[in-house]
C-alpha cells in the first residue's frame, strides 16, 4: 500500500515537473512569436497556431495557478480595475523639447550647441520622426517589465503599468541572447495608434452608435487612462522606443544615441526604422524634407522631426534648462488639426442617394491647405458630436483624407447656437428621405431618374479616372449637361454631338472635339472598369476586379444569383444583395444594354483555372512603373486571377517594386516576401498572354 502511494506521488511529481517545463517552454515560444509579430512585423505562425499555444498555456496555468508568472503572456490583461492611478516620480526628469519651424532656426540651435562645446569639436546628430502620441517610461528590472509611467509634468507621472502590459508591442521580458540586459534600465518611447487602426476603430464605433475618437493621439491618451485594463486591451495601441532614460548596474553604457537605439532593438524593443544619423545641418534638412514628402504614407501621425545630438557625452555637457533639453529640438511641420467656427450645415446627395451633412466653416489653414468645408458623415455622427451651428469645432485633415469635424469645444458654445436637423425631403429633388434597415445613412427615396443630384454624381463617377477615364468631362460640364437635359444616363454621353457641346458655356470647338475623341477612346475599356463605372453600391475597384475575374463575362454577372455572387472573393451577403438588386432593375439593365449597343466593349477574360494562373495570390504594387500606369498593371494582374491589395501583409504573395518604392518595399523585405521589378513583371505578363 505504502509503495503504491509512493509510486503515485512520484508520478504526480514527475507530471508536475513536466507541466512546469512545458509552461516555461510555451512562455518562451509566445514571447518569441509576440516579438516577431508586434516588433519585427514578420510573423512565423498563423493566428490559429499562435492561439493554440496561448490556449495550451492558459489551460496549464488554470490547472496549476502556481505556474502563472507575472511576465506570462496570459497575464497581459489579468489586472483588476483600478480605483485611481498612483503617482510616480521620475528618477531622471522627462523634459520637453524646444521647437523650430525653419531650417534657419534649426541652424541657430546647432550653433548654440557648438558654442557650449569645445572649439572645433565635431557635432553629429540623429534625426527621427516625432510621433504624435503619448510619451511613457518603461522600467525593466532584471529584464522584466516592472513599471510603466506617463510623462506627466516631467517630474512626476502616473503608474499605468497594468494598461501598458496589454500592448503587444511592449515586451514583458527583454531578450538578453545577444547583449546582457542591465539589472535595471528605463526605456522611453511613444505609445500611439496607427492611422489605419484609428479609422477602423471609428468606423466600428459609428456602425454600433458608439463614441468616436477625436484623433489618434487623443485615442492613445484616453486608452492609457482607462482604470480597467480590459478596456485598454481593446484599443489598437503600439509603441516606438526612442531613448534610454537611465541604466543602473551592469558594465555597459552607450556612447551615442544611435548605439542606444541599436541596443534597444537587440533587447526586443520596437525602434523606428526611420531614425537616421546626420552629419550636419544640410543632412538634417534633407531628412526633414524627405520625411515631409512621405508623411502621408507613414501610416501614423507625426508632427515633425526630432533632431538630437548623437554623442551622449556631448548631451551631458549641453545639459538642460528648467523645462527643455539643450541637446534636442523638434522641427515642427504644419498642424493637421485646427479649431474654427461652424457657420452652417448643408446636405449633399451622393450617387447612391446618400444624404451627407457637410459643415460650412470659417476658413482655416490646416494640413497645408485652407479648409472651408468638412464632412460630418451622417446624422448619427452629428448626434454623437452634439454639434450646433455657431460652435467652435476641431477640424482634422491628415494627408489626402477629406477634412472632418472631430469634436466640439463646448466651453466656447455661444448662447444662440442652433441645433442641426435632417431635412424632411431631398434637397435636390424634394423626394422623401428614408433610412434603410440598420443603416446610419439617410437616403433620397427616389433614384437617379428623378433626382438630378444622383444623376450628376453618377455621371462624375462613371467618367472618373479609375472608371471609364473620360478626359475633359469635368464637374462643371456634367452640371450643364444634366441641367440642360442633354444627358439623363451614362449611355447618353455617347450620343452627344459637336453642335450640342459647342453650345455649352466655356466650350469651344477644340474642347468639344477633344471631348468627343475622349468619349470614343473610352469605349475600349476592361470589364472590371466597366463594372466599377456603373456605380453599384459598395462595389469599389477591388470588388469590381474580383467580380470580373470570377464571372469572366458581363452576361454571367448580370444573371448571377445572390448565392453565386457570394462565392466571389471579398463579396459578402450585403454586397451580393446590392449587385443582384442593381441588375434586377429594368432601368439599370436598359442602361447597361444601351452602353454595349453604343460600342462600349472590352477584351474577353479567361475563367478557366489554367488561364488564371495567379488565382488565390495577393499582389502589391509600389513605386513608379515606366511602361504602364499602376492601374493598368493592376487590371492585367487581376485578369490573371490575382487579388491586388493596397498594403503588404504576411498574406502577400508577391510585391512589384518600381523606382521610388517606399514603405511597402521595406515591409516586404522585412517579411521576406518575394519582390520583382518592372522588367520581371512584363516578362510574366507576356508569358501568360496578358501583354500585347
From the list 15, 84, 99, 130, the catalytic residue is 130
Helices (H), 464-526: 475-483, 498-502, 509-522
Per the CB < 8 A criterion, the answer to whether 212 and 206 are in contact is yes
3-state helix, strand, coil in the chain (%, to 5): 40, 20, 40
Closest CA to 522 of 577, 599, 446: 599
- The question of whether 130 is a catalytic residue gets the answer yes
H or E stretch including 455?
Answer: helix 452-463
At 306, list the grid cell.
Answer: 526630432
Residue 571 sits at φ, ψ, to 5 deg, of -110, 110
Q: What are the residues whose beta carbons fall under 8 Å from the beta carbon of 214, sequence distance 6 or more?
A: 394, 396, 406, 407
Q: Please give the Cα distance from 195 to 148 (Å, whole number).
A: 24
- In 3D, which of 420, 413, 400, 408 has the Cα closest to residue 357? 420
Q: Can you tell me the distance from the alpha carbon of 184 to that of 577, in angstroms, rounded to the nearest whole number?
A: 60
Q: How many other C-beta atoms can be found within 10 angstroms of the C-beta atom of residue 376? A: 22
- Locate all alpha helices (DSSP H) within 399-474, ordered by sequence: 452-463
Q: Provide the grid cell at 158.
A: 502616473
Direct distance between the N- and C-terminal alpha carbons of the chain, in angstroms, rounded to an integer: 87
Candidates 19, 5, 4, 31; CA nearest to 145 is 31
Distance separating alpha carbons of residues 235 and 218, to the nearest angstrom = 12
Residue 191's DSSP bridge partners are 134, 239
Interior CA angle at 37 toward 33 and 38, to 5°? 115
H or E stretch at 277: strand 276-278
- The cell numbers describing 378, all together, are 451622417
Q: Quick check: 122 and 256 in contact, CB under 8 A?
A: no
Radius of gyration of the chain (CA): 30
As a whole number of angstroms, the distance between CA 125 and CA 258 comes to: 9
- Round to whole Å and give the CA distance between 166 and 77: 6
State the DSSP code for 242. Answer: E
Burial class (CB in 10 A: 0-12, 13-18, 19+), 24: middle
Residue 637 neighbours by CB distance under 10 Å: 25
List phi, psi (to 5°) of 380. Answer: -60, -40
Q: Is 304 left (phi over 0), alpha (psi -120 to 50) or beta?
A: left
| 657: DSSP letter | E
d(CA 441, CA 446): 15
Active site residues: 130
Amino acid at each position: 500500500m505504502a509503495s503504491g502511494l509512493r509510486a503515485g506521488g512520484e508520478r504526480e511529481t514527475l507530471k508536475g515537473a513536466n507541466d512546469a517545463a512545458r509552461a516555461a517552454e510555451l512562455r518562451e515560444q509566445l514571447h518569441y512569436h509576440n516579438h516577431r509579430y508586434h516588433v519585427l512585423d514578420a510573423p512565423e505562425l498563423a493566428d490559429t497556431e499562435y492561439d493554440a499555444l496561448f490556449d495550451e498555456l492558459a489551460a496549464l496555468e488554470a490547472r496549476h495557478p502556481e505556474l502563472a508568472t507575472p511576465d506570462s503572456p496570459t497575464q497581459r490583461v489579468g489586472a483588476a480595475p483600478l480605483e485611481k492611478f498612483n503617482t510616480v516620480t521620475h528618477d531622471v526628469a522627462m523634459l520637453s523639447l524646444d521647437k523650430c519651424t525653419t531650417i534657419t532656426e534649426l541652424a541657430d540651435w546647432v550653433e548654440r550647441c557648438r558654442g557650449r562645446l569645445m572649439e572645433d569639436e565635431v557635432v553629429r546628430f540623429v534625426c527621427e520622426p516625432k510621433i504624435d502620441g503619448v510619451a511613457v517610461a518603461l522600467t525593466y528590472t532584471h529584464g522584466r517589465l516592472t513599471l510603466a509611467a506617463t510623462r506627466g509634468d516631467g517630474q512626476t507621472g502616473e503608474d499605468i503599468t497594468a494598461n501598458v502590459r496589454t500592448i503587444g508591442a511592449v515586451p514583458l521580458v527583454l531578450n538578453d541572447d545577444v547583449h546582457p540586459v542591465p539589472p535595471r534600465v528605463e526605456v522611453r518611447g511613444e505609445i500611439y495608434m496607427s492611422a489605419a487602426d484609428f479609422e477602423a476603430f471609428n468606423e466600428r464605433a459609428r456602425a454600433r452608435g458608439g463614441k468616436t475618437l477625436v484623433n489618434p493621439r487623443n485615442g492613445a491618451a484616453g486608452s492609457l487612462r482607462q482604470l480597467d485594463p480590459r478596456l485598454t486591451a481593446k484599443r489598437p495601441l503600439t509603441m516606438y522606443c526612442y531613448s534610454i532614460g537611465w541604466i543602473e548596474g551592469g558594465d555597459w553604457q552607450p556612447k551615442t544615441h544611435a548605439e542606444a537605439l541599436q541596443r534597444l532593438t537587440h533587447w526586443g524593443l520596437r525602434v523606428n526604422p526611420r531614425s537616421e544619423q546626420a552629419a550636419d545641418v544640410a543632412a538634417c534638412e534633407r531628412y526633414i524634407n524627405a520625411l515631409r514628402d512621405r508623411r502621408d504614407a507613414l501610416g501614423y501621425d507625426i508632427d515633425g522631426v526630432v533632431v538630437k545630438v548623437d554623442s551622449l557625452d556631448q548631451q551631458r555637457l549641453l545639459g538642460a534648462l528648467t523645462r527643455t533639453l539643450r541637446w534636442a529640438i523638434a522641427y515642427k511641420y504644419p498642424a493637421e488639426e485646427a479649431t474654427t467656427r461652424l457657420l452652417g450645415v448643408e446636405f449633399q446627395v451622393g450617387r447612391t442617394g446618400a444624404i451627407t451633412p457637410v459643415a460650412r466653416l470659417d476658413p482655416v489653414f490646416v494640413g497645408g491647405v485652407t479648409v472651408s468645408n468638412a464632412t460630418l458623415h451622417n446624422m448619427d455622427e452629428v448626434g454623437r458630436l452634439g454639434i450646433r451651428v455657431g460652435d467652435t469645432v476641431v477640424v482634422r485633415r491628415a494627408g489626402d483624407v477629406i477634412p472632418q469635424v472631430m469634436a466640439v469645444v463646448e466651453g466656447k458654445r455661444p448662447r444662440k447656437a442652433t441645433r442641426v436637423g435632417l431635412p424632411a425631403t431631398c434637397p435636390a429633388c424634394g423626394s422623401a428621405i428614408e433610412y434603410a434597415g440598420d443603416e446610419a445613412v439617410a437616403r433620397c427615396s427616389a433614384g437617379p431618374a428623378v433626382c438630378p443630384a444622383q444623376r450628376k454624381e453618377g455621371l462624375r463617377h462613371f467618367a472618373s479616372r479609375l472608371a471609364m477615364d473620360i478626359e475633359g468631362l469635368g464637374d462643371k460640364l456634367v452640371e450643364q449637361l444634366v441641367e440642360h437635359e442633354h444627358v439623363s444616363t451614362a449611355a447618353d454621353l455617347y450620343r452627344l454631338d459637336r453642335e450640342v457641346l459647342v453650345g455649352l458655356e466655356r466650350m469651344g470647338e477644340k474642347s468639344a472635339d477633344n471631348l468627343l475623341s475622349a468619349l470614343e477612346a473610352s469605349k475600349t475599356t476592361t470589364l472590371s472598369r466597366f463594372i466599377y463605372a456603373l456605380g453599384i453600391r459598395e462595389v469599389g475597384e477591388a470588388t469590381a476586379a474580383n467580380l470580373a475575374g470570377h464571372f469572366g463575362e458581363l452576361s454571367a454577372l448580370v444573371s448571377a444569383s445572390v448565392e453565386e455572387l457570394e462565392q466571389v472573393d471579398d463579396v459578402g451577403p450585403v454586397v451580393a444583395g446590392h449587385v443582384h438588386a442593381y441588375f434586377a432593375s429594368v432601368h439599370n439593365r436598359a442602361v447597361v444594354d444601351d452602353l454595349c449597343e453604343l460600342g462600349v466593349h472590352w477584351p474577353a477574360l479567361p475563367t478557366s483555372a489554367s488561364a488564371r494562373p495567379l488565382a488565390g495570390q495577393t499582389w502589391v504594387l509600389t513605386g513608379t512603373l515606366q511602361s504602364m500606369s499602376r492601374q493598368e498593371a493592376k487590371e492585367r494582374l487581376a485578369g490573371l486571377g490575382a487579388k491586388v491589395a493596397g498594403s503588404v501583409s504576411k498574406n502577400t504573395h508577391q510585391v512589384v517594386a518600381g523606382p521610388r518604392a517606399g514603405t511597402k518595399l521595406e515591409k516586404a523585405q522585412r517579411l521576406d516576401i518575394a519582390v520583382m521589378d518592372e522588367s520581371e513583371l512584363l516578362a510574366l505578363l507576356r508569358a501568360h498572354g496578358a501583354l500585347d
